[in-house]
Structure 1
Amino acid sequence: MPITTQQLIQWKQQGQTIVALTAWDYTTGRLLDAAGVDLILVGDSLAVMLGYETTIPLTLEEMLHHAKAVRRGVKRALLVFDLPFLTYQESFQQAMHSAGRALKEAGAQAVKIEGGHPAIIETVSRLVQAGIPVMGHIGLTPQSIHQLGLKQQGKTTTAGEKLIAEAIALEAAGAFSIVLEHIPSDLAAQISQKLTIPTIGIGAGSKCDGQVLVTADVLGLSERQPPFAKVYVNLSEAIARAVQDYASEVREHKFPTK
């Protein structure tokens, strides 16, 4: 049976850990789903896969195109659509339009938006009231790279208290889960304990209710590896070797054989 947002909330109450990864095409979505991943995020990390330096240039149309492909491969996992930069910040009407397209056109079951300031909290509340499940995202928010950089967030007492308040406000607004990115593990543990909705950590320690990584990082396909990611297999080297072997056999007339 397909996984739902309510099921993830129940899992937190039952102590069942949530496994999440990103996908950007049909093949990746199909393989992750078949491997038993619980939540598949069509993340704006797609920008890097398309050759952009940051997530900022990524458009809604590009995200929709790739999310449709992922949707065709996913049967069980919850599919979450990451709303790109400046597709939800201008107004709640803009957010409603973008999120509506994610659900209607791409078949996503929820959307993710970054931030926890009052305007975002209001947007989350409006989306949830309209029947659109929302995943929050606080801590290091990549769409704010020009303001925050890529350094760890929430390291001071004041900054930590601000993130705790944002997480509580997101839950009150109706978010079904929150991504905690690149914050101290003890802070992530505090936030996780205070919430009844699951936290999904990325560079936030082991005390979150689930974990997410960019699949390209897991598979060793990224040019730049985040300090908190783990490479489980180096496909970059494996692909390079396979292509070199193929090229060598073609040039030496060993492939194709008779």
Structure 2
Amino acid sequence: MKKKLTIPDIYQIKKKGEKAALLTAYDYPTALIEDEAGIDIILVGDSLAMTVLGYKNTLSVTLDEMLVFTKAVTRAVERAFVVGDMPFLTYKTDPYTAIENAGRFIQEANADAVKLEGAGDIIPNIKAIVGAGIPVMGHIGLTPQSIGILGGFRVQGTKKEAALKLIDDAKRLEDAGVFAIIAESIPSELTPIIRDKLKIPLYGIGAGPETDGQILVVHDILGLFEDFIPRFVKKYADLNKILKDAFKTYIQDIKDGKFPDAEKSYHIDKKVLDEIKKVLLQQEKQNK
């Protein structure tokens, strides 16, 4: 049994000057492999709305759907710290409802923490959730649940006012009690400025190399989602091609009669088979 990572362990990774490796996962087999490979933090991201469920954006996925996938991941994981992504309209509510929704990730899905997007008017709810004993990860920069306001998937913080707001948001999130922050799609030059203002870890996705760790979407790095490929994505395998080739070979084997062969089939003793045939033959004679 591997030792389960905790928030103090996550802080130790930063204190040692090491980089944390984060990755999304949405199902049992993927989470199992990621955990065995040594991923430190697994995010059950609402990105599954697009990569798994086929929605056009992340706004359509529900809390109940997120809990199903989070449960699958936590059943697989022994070591990694698992964060559940709170979906659209589940935390921009009254504090009690926000706590109740966050609590379902911990109580029902066995997650270690939840992630919320943004700062601003949700700071009181973050404080309330943390105050209820639920660890919270923050998220600044490009926040996909706000694409309607942001005007799409665009780099954030390129202007002075916007950059200063990101720095302020990060500090406000830390003051509210989040244990770590993800910065998404911001200029790489801005990232170390934000990081150095914080005591907690700052992880990046499209935020350059000067972070306390990196996170990407698992379907992106494996080439399984090609509808939208951000500039910051690095593909580590092309499973799209591998799977498609495998499916085509499977189809052809069936059509050619190559599958299943004798090795992939179950068999019966010849004497037993002969007896069965004999009984059937006798039945046919009696019915004539």
Q: TM over 0.5, yes or no?
A: yes
CA offset at residue 25 of structure 1?
Answer: 0.6
Task: Summarize the alignment of residues 247-258 of structure 1 with structure 2, pairs less than 5 Å apart.
Answer: 247-258=251-262
Which structure has more RCO (C-alpha within 8 Å, separation ≥ 6)? Answer: 1
> Larger radius of gyration, structure 1 or 2?
2
Is 1:230 the equivalent of 2:226?
Answer: no
Mapped to 2, the partners of 1:59 and 1:154 lie a distance apart of: 29
Could you say which residue in structure 1 is the equivalent of 2:134?
Answer: 132
Aligned pairs, number: 257
User: What SS is found at the alignment partner of 1:55?
Assistant: coil
Mapped to 2, the partners of 1:136 and 1:251 lie a distance apart of: 52
Between 1:149-158 and 1:119-128, the stretch displaced more is 119-128
2:24 pairs, out of 22, 25, 31, with 22
1:179 pairs, out of 156, 176, 182, with 182
* Structure 1 residues 115-149: Cα deviation after superposition (integer angstroms, max 9, x where no partner): 011x2111111111111100000000000011111
1:243 pairs, out of 236, 244, 247, with 247
Runs of 4+ in 1 over 6 A off after TM superposition: none
Q: Percent identity?
A: 49
Could you say which residue in structure 2 is the equivalent of 1:218?
Answer: 221
Mapped to 2, the partners of 1:238 and 1:30 lie a distance apart of: 20
* Structure 1 residues 218-247: Cα deviation after superposition (integer angstroms, max 9, x where no partner): 100002211111110000000000010111
1:190 pairs, out of 184, 188, 193, with 193
Could you say which residue in structure 1 is the equivalent of 2:74?
Answer: 71
Cα contact 1:9–1:196 (8 A) shared by 2? no
Could you say which residue in structure 2 is the equivalent of 1:151?
Answer: 154
Could you say which residue in structure 2 is the equivalent of 1:123?
Answer: 125
Mapped to 2, the partners of 1:6 and 1:113 lie a distance apart of: 20
CA offset at residue 249 of structure 1?
Answer: 1.0
CA offset at residue 10 of structure 1?
Answer: 2.3
Cα contact 1:136–1:178 (8 A) shared by 2? yes
Could you say which residue in structure 2 is the equivalent of 1:84?
Answer: 87
The TM-score normalised by the length of structure 1 is 0.98
Runs of 5+ unmatched residues, structure 1 = none
Mapped to 1, the partners of 2:85 and 2:242 lie a distance apart of: 30
Mapped to 1, the partners of 2:194 and 2:234 lie a distance apart of: 24
Is 1:110 the equivalent of 2:113?
Answer: yes
CA offset at residue 200 of structure 1?
Answer: 0.9
